[in-house]
Chain A
């Protein structure tokens, strides 16, 4: 604040010195001639000192305010990310990734513009104007009214343009994201485009969007092209007023040339803060809209977090004090579940029991509700109370972190991260624990049948995975995800169609290894493959969210129902394999 006042005060003094210098030259020649030269030198030295002072204080002011805005932005973005980490699956069903990204990037930037540059300009103007106006009034009240008052018009003009520019800039942004979406679709559907030889038509559709983008841009340009010249025209107009009014006053002898020059310099210092005022008002509008959009995320209710953060971290670190320890006994009592916003139940009236250490196989056609059970066990969605129990405790009463810490899940389409393979496998293992678990990690990569292949890569486990593991095959991705889940040493393992892209031969080896590794852990195996689920103690065939058949593999085969049909079909693949 001191810097702010000082730098503006010094700027005004420099303007005054300028006039003083000119006036010194203008003094009538004669016996004072020598003195005039001295005065001039003094003027130079004072200006030098003032200039240094103004520069230094301005430097600190700028740094202070903009730094603060960056620091606030940093905290704000951290908070937003922290909140995102705690939002439940249903939130991510509603908000697409691109939408969340837009809010976390461009909206936060708009808010920062208000906090940083906008505040700086406002503060600066609030300090500068009274001082400058006072100084101008001291020189000549009439000239001040003549020049400075019309200059205030800059504010509405800038505001007018800026708020319209913001709107059009947003339209450009929208046209741009339509264009991106179109490219995205074209690239994903490239095969269909090619087999229908539709390149030309698709390219023409792209052309239309590209044209629309051009048009949106030109709409924006039309405003921008006028905006800056209009501004400089206004400034020029003020200078013309000064020349005219000041000129007349000099001719009448009421004002010196030096005073006019000072006046001119003062006006110049005021112009940009004035223009900034209009800009700030438009920015405020935009910032407010962005704030609303960001707040929609902040206002979304986070997952029930029934324990302090620190305790959660201990859990993640695998500290011995995991309370409660999971044995892995699962009971479903007349479980009916609908996804939020859906009328059809995904699971309807399911009664099931998996004893601790037991293995349940779950199969059935696509969309029968198999994965839903996995989601509920992970508490991605909340089941109704009194329907799903682990170790006899309602799942809703389990601390979420403790629950998840003791479950290893391999999702249908496993999500790997852009990092090394080693980091991906150790994803769920706390850093402090990594050392102790190193032999375990080595073991699970072997069980997942990943080890040999990865060692074959030039960089081994340090191989960097591209976006979502793009440089791995589907099977390698699934096996990496399996290793990742096993590395946590879970009390309950959920395999959600986790080996679909792995060939049957490798799958067999994996399942053999798993049985050995897991020993008496509870396992839920969801799969389309009979060979996979047949290992389970008990198998459930789901259809349209209901249990259609259940029993052991042998019992189900003997029933000659749907499970038997599926088994017959799949035995074929093996049969053929042996025939050849």
Chain B
């Protein structure tokens, strides 16, 4: 069970060790700095609101000692109006304060989120291999949100509350040092209760969060993997496990409730006692006549009673905010850890300018391994000349896709180099480099939005006519036209509503819409119905026509269209040449052709070598 919990909520185990860290606060301040004037203003507002609030008991005292004692009804009305005026002012300051401080907090967090997403976009593939999507989402949403809470209801408000405490004590001192002393006698008790509360509640607060995170992770996993749970008759056992996690959450909550149930009544008790003590001490003085000598009046007694109330409210909320501060520290630590990760593939300080290809792209003795000691490419050299298309064929695992990963700089070569018109790829800004290519990957990823949004991926200025033209070229026009909304039909998450074939056609359209000078195509192998298959073959023809291209090919028609064919095997180039040349040398390609593509050639009927090869294969397989 403990292993299970560790597996479910790994982040929670690491959190909350840290106390308040000034370095982290400094980095946080960076995000607030642009608004420092407004922050200064909110501090003033908070000062004003709290000062006005502190004045209220004074007015009350004055009313009792003067207007009421002297029986001045008109004066009483006047003073009450003044009292209401103070109240209105204080409330207005409060409204403005909350609004401005939230505004700043929201802006600062907006800035942080934007920087964070850009930082994530700038990371290389290795980063995404290491960081699960869920964790990154948590950083960008709930961790940033915790910081916002700290900011909006935390820091400045805490300052205001400290101010109230100081202000009230100072005011009390102006009235009676002795009674102030009596009130402050409660301080050690308050402190003791607050410290006990903080210890107890912090421990259980953290435990509550951990238990909740674990329970929710378990729940999420079970809901997502329900068919497996049911297939293995795990209902009873998982229900028990869930109940146990649920119970941990409940127990942690009960402990927290205990702390709160103790804290609030204890605070009420101390404040009642403080009031009683004030009246007892003050009252005895007044009775003994010493009060009069010290200038103590009924109004002052009333004033002190109110002061006790004013002192206790901020003490309560300060204790509660301590937990928030802790959580915020943990969140900011996780966020800044993310900010501190640097991509290994990045633009050099002075990237070489990139121009349209004039000569060729060359792979020069390229070696590469995803995992050390497990080479995927073992010394690959070839060139793609401008206007030429190169098809790569070979079995799964031969290293074909890796060529694309290196050319688009999702990874960098381990040794050797790839050049673009003679310049090493690593000297370019990867983003500038990628802009030269249009890439169609095996698994088509469509973004949610409309079809038009997806076609405009590379070129936002594309007009509707241009889009229809592109769709016509890849023969997807009728299918898009048949959709409700046409170009503006909604694409659901990852294009879930389209068939595999339709998604491929759209991917070709998307590539074509960017009118690339260089095309990279990783042909999909999925089985597609014959009609769509026909369309796709034609679309590939259109896309490839006259372009410099690197194609990982599975279809005979695609291979035959290429100017050069590379046969890869176990990370090396086994044979290279044109279709005719390779057929002539009776090597791997010829066997491949005969075995795999013969029937396609027959179906096409377009290949002059096909009938003979088909004949031969027929004889062969009869012999099998």
**A-facing residues in B461-517 (Cβ within 8 Å):** 493-494, 500, 514
Considering the complex, give the chain B residue whose CB is closest to the CB of A233. B91
Question: A558-580 CB contact bits vs B (8 Å, 1 = yes)?
Answer: 00100001001101110111011
Q: How far is the CA of A158 from the CA of B283 in the complex (A)?
A: 39
Contacts A101-B219, A579-B591; A221 near B269 (Cβ below 8 A) = no
Does B261 lie within 8 Å of A74, measured CB to CB? no
Q: Which of A60, A105, A316, A488 contacts B236 (CB 8 A)?
A: A316
| Contacts between chains A and B (CB distance < 8 A), count | 417
Q: When the two chains form their complex, are residues A366 and B526 in contact, meaning their CB atoms are under 8 A apart?
A: yes
Cα-based distance from A217 to B99 in the complex (angstroms) = 11
B residues within 8 A CB of A417? Answer: 221, 225
In the complex, chain A residues whose CB is within 8 Å of the CB of B460:
201
State the Cβ distance, A317 to closest chain B Cβ, in Å: 9
> Is there an interface contact between A569 and B435, defined as CB atoms closer than 8 Å?
no
Find A70's partner among B95, B128, B250, B280 (CB 8 Å cutoff).
Answer: B250
| CB of A344 closer than 8 Å to a CB of B | no
A197: B residues at CB distance < 8 A:
431-432, 434-435, 458
Q: If the complex has contacts A40-B287, A43-B276, are A59 and B570 also in contact, measured as CB distance less than 8 A?
A: no
For window 52-74 of chain A, which residues contact chain B by CB distance below 8 Å? 52, 54-56, 58-60, 62-63, 66-67, 70-71, 73-74
Query: Which residues B55-111 have CB closer than 8 A to chain A?
Result: 56, 60, 63-64, 67-68, 71-73, 76-77, 79-80, 83-84, 87-88, 90-92, 94-95, 98-99, 102-103, 106-107, 109-110
B contact residues around A261 at 8 Å (CB): 302, 305
Q: Contacts A33-B287, A196-B458, A247-B63; is A25 near B301 (CB within 8 Å)?
A: yes
- When chains A and B are docked, how far (Å) is the Cα of A45 from the Cα of B544? 97
Q: Which of A139-147, A350-358, A462-470 contacts B (4 or more CB under 8 A)?
A: A462-470
Compute how far the CA of A279 lies from the CA of B458 in the bound complex, rounded to whole angstroms: 51
On whether A240 and B395 interact (CB within 8 A), knowing A25-B301, A43-B279, A55-B265, the answer reads: no
Q: A183 and B410 in contact (CB under 8 A), knowing A313-B236, A428-B234?
A: no
Q: Is B238 an interface residue (CB 8 A)?
A: yes
Q: Which residues of B contact A97 (CB under 8 A)?
A: 220, 223-224
Pair B99/A206 contact, Cβ less than 8 Å? no
Residues on A with C-beta less than 8 A from B90 are 229, 232
- The distance from the CB of B299 to the nearest CB of chain A, in whole angstroms, is 9
How far, in whole Å, are A563 and B141 apart by their CA atoms in the complex?
51
Judge if B26 is at the interface, Cβ distance under 8 Å. Answer: no
Complexed CA–CA distance, A188 and B132 (Å): 10
Please tell me if B445 contacts chain A, counting CB pairs below 8 Å.
yes
B6 within 8 A of A: yes
A431–B241 Cα distance when bound, in Å, is: 13
Q: Which of B73, B110, B134, B435 contacts A248 (CB 8 A)?
A: B73
Q: Could you say which of A127-135, A404-412, A443-451 contacts chain B?
A: A404-412
Q: Is A495 an interface residue (CB 8 A)?
A: no
Interface presence of A211 (CB below 8 A): yes
Q: Does B4 sit at the interface, judged by CB under 8 A?
A: yes
Within 8 A of B (CB), among A191-246: 191-199, 201-203, 206-207, 210-211, 213-214, 217-218, 221-222, 224-226, 228-230, 232-233, 236-237, 239-240, 243-244
B552-600 CB contacts (< 8 Å) to partner A: 569-570, 574, 588, 591-592, 595-596, 598-599
Within the complex, the shortest CB–CB distance from A440 to chain B, in Å, comes to 16
A488 and B232 within 8 A (CB): yes
A248 and B87: CB pair below 8 A? no
* Contact indicator B4/A577 (Cβ below 8 Å): no
Please tell me if the beta carbons of A85 and B298 are within 8 angstroms of each other in the complex.
no
Q: Per a CB cutoff under 8 Å, which of A62, A92, A467 touches B227?
A: A92
Judge whether A18 and B268 touch: CB under 8 Å: no
Contact indicator B280/A569 (Cβ below 8 Å): no
User: With a CB–CB cut-off of 8 A, which chain A residues contact B247?
Assistant: 74
Contacts of A552 in B (CB 8 A): none
Enumerate chain B residues within 8 angstroms of A345, measured Cβ to Cβ. none
Instruction: Please tell me if the beta carbons of A85 and B230 are within 8 angstroms of each other in the complex.
Output: yes
Contact B106 A22 (CB under 8 A): no
Q: How far is the CA of A410 from the CA of B130 in the complex (A)?
A: 27
Measured in the bound complex, the distance between the Cα atoms of B302 and A26 in whole Å is 13
Q: Is the CB of B280 within 8 A of A44?
A: yes
Given known A-B contacts A25-B287, A419-B4, A428-B233, A576 and B395 have beta carbons under 8 A apart:
yes
A residues near B397, Cβ cutoff 8 Å = 503
Q: Return B351 CB to nearest CB of chain A, in Å.
A: 13
Whether B434 and A196, one on each chain, are in contact in the complex, defined by CB atoms closer than 8 angstroms, is yes
> In this assembly, does B216 line the interface, its C-beta being within 8 Å of a C-beta of chain A?
yes
Known A78-B239, A316-B237: A180·B441 in contact at CB below 8 Å: no
The B interface, classified by DSSP as helix, strand, loop or mixed, is helix
Q: How close is A499's CB to chain B, nearest CB, in angstroms?
A: 13
Asked if A415 meets B279 with Cβ closer than 8 Å, knowing A187-B133, A251-B71, A431-B237, the reply is no
Say how far A30's CB is from chain B's closest CB, in angstroms. 11
Residues of B within 8 A of A54 (CB): 265, 268-269, 272
Please choose the segment from B32-40, B113-121, B605-613 that sits at the chain A interface, where 4 or more of its residues have CB less than 8 A away: B113-121
**A405 touching B233 by the CB < 8 A rule?**
yes
Are B128 and A63 in contact (CB-based, < 8 A)?
no
Q: Are A580 and B439 in contact (CB under 8 A)?
A: no
When chains A and B are docked, how far (Å) is the Cα of A41 from the Cα of B310? 25
- Chain B, residues 199-233, CB within 8 Å of chain A (1/0): the string is 00000000000000000110111111111111111
Does B382 touch A at the CB level, under 8 Å?
no
Complex Cα gap A195–B435 (Å): 7
Q: Within 8 Å CB of A411, what residues of B?
A: 227-228, 231
CA distance A383 to B332 in the complex (A): 53
Partner of A568 from the list B236, B260, B596 (CB cut-off 8 Å) is B596
Answer whether A202 and B596 are a contact pair too, CB < 8 Å, given A217-B102, A221-B99, A465-B7: no
On whether the beta carbons of B258 and A415 are closer than 8 Å, the reply is: no
State whether B68 touches A179 (Cβ < 8 A).
Answer: no
A221-B98, A230-B91, A462-B3 known; A70 vs B228 contact (CB < 8 Å): no
Residue from B79, B266, B275, B588 whose CB has the most chain A CB atoms within 10 Å: B275
Asked if A418 meets B216 with Cβ closer than 8 Å, knowing A70-B254, A183-B141, A411-B228, the reply is no
Which residues of B from 374 to 417 have beta carbons under 8 Å from A? Answer: 394-397, 408, 410
Is A278 close to B, CB under 8 A?
no
Q: Does A491 contact B (CB under 8 A)?
A: no
Which residue of A is nearest B10, CB measured?
A: A466
A42 to B373, CA, bound (A): 88
A418 near B588: Cβ-Cβ < 8 Å: no
CB B514 to nearest CB in A, in angstroms, measures 7
Cα(A243)–Cα(B239), bound, Å: 61
User: A residues 425-464 with Cβ under 8 Å of B?
Assistant: 427-428, 430-431, 462, 464
Interface presence of B277 (CB below 8 A): yes
Q: Mark B133-161, 1 if CB is under 8 A from A, else 0.
A: 11011001100010000001000000000
Q: Which of B416-448 contact A (CB under 8 A)?
A: 430-432, 434-435, 437-439, 441, 445, 447-448
- Cα-based distance from A547 to B272 in the complex (angstroms): 85
Which chain A residues lie closer than 8 Å to B231 at the CB level?
378, 404, 407, 409, 411, 428
**A71 proximity list for chain B (CB < 8 A):** 250
- Determine whether A331 belongs to the interface, using a CB cutoff of 8 Å to chain B: no
**Which of B87, B233, B283, B447 has most A Cβ within 10 Å?**
B233
Q: B185 at the A/B interface (Cβ < 8 Å)?
A: no
A-B interface, 10 closest residue pairs, ranked by CB to CB distance from nearest: A365-B527, A225-B98, A428-B232, A415-B225, A229-B91, A418-B7, A195-B439, A236-B87, A62-B261, A25-B283
Q: List 23 A-B contacts (CB under 8 A).
A: A25-B286, A25-B301, A26-B298, A36-B283, A43-B280, A59-B265, A60-B261, A183-B141, A189-B445, A189-B494, A221-B98, A224-B98, A233-B88, A236-B56, A239-B83, A243-B60, A243-B83, A247-B63, A366-B527, A420-B7, A428-B234, A568-B596, A580-B569
For the complex with contacts A67-B254, A179-B141, A180-B141, 20 further pairs of A-B residues with Cβ separation under 8 Å are: A22-B298, A25-B279, A36-B287, A40-B279, A51-B268, A78-B246, A192-B445, A197-B435, A225-B99, A229-B90, A257-B68, A378-B230, A378-B231, A404-B233, A411-B227, A464-B3, A464-B7, A467-B221, A488-B232, A577-B395
